[in-house]
Structure 1
């Protein structure tokens, strides 16, 4: 199999009131994969509701910005560039941007598939691959 970069303009952008996601590696973009990898931008002062992924672990890696993360019943804790957070499958969690700039994350689900539940969010919208919604593009 020939290696292929999964460039941002080759996948749709999922838009939400709190931010946006580009799923780079999914079973649809890399047949046979058991991982999902996505770029997540959380707008300043925004975050997503607590939720869980019953069938997948999640790893969140902070590229830039500052935020608060919850995992389970514990209190929110600060996160910043270089931090990595593991969220075990089935555990409630949330992410909130506490800074003035975009909180940029890389998110990994194992096994793949947890991303599909986000399509049911009431604020879900999808911009086609190649379109550049918003002020900051990948």
Structure 2
């Protein structure tokens, strides 16, 4: 991915987020960044502000203004792959604090096995 840490001077962050089946990101905000999500693969439910849950799937793009509460949950049977873009960059730091956060080196696919 691209972050201000990996590419000094980059005005944004862009990278892939993978959410395993039955998992997701609880309601949270990014007070200093707008966010755009592009669903590459999979399906789930999204909230943005007071929208209530709405279905998202491959090809959908979601815009989340800075400071707006939002959440994403995978309701499908396979991994949800999402391109996440933050502008300005830096909000990805919050993802690193999630208990199931794992950084996968470029070129490697995250592995998910059913228990």
How high is the TM-score relative to the length of structure 1? 0.73
Alignment of 1:31 onto 2:22: no
Structure 2 distance, partners of 1:126, 1:41, is 10
What is the count of residue pairs matched by the alignment?
112
Alignment of 1:135 onto 2:108: no
Question: How far is 1:124 from its partner?
Answer: 5.0
Q: Does the 8 Å contact 1:118/1:124 carry over to 2?
A: no
Unaligned runs of 5+ in 1: 1-23
Unaligned runs of 5+ in 2: none
Q: Does the 8 Å contact 1:68/1:98 carry over to 2?
A: yes
What is the aligned partner in structure 2 of residue 46 from structure 1? 23
Q: Could you list the per-position Cα deviations for residues 11-50 of structure 1 after superposition, in whole angstroms to 9, with x for gaps in the alignment? A: xxxxxxxxxxxxx000122111011001011101111111
Alignment of 1:116 onto 2:93: yes
Q: Point out the structure with max Rg over C-alpha.
A: 1
Regions of 4+ moved over 6 Å: none
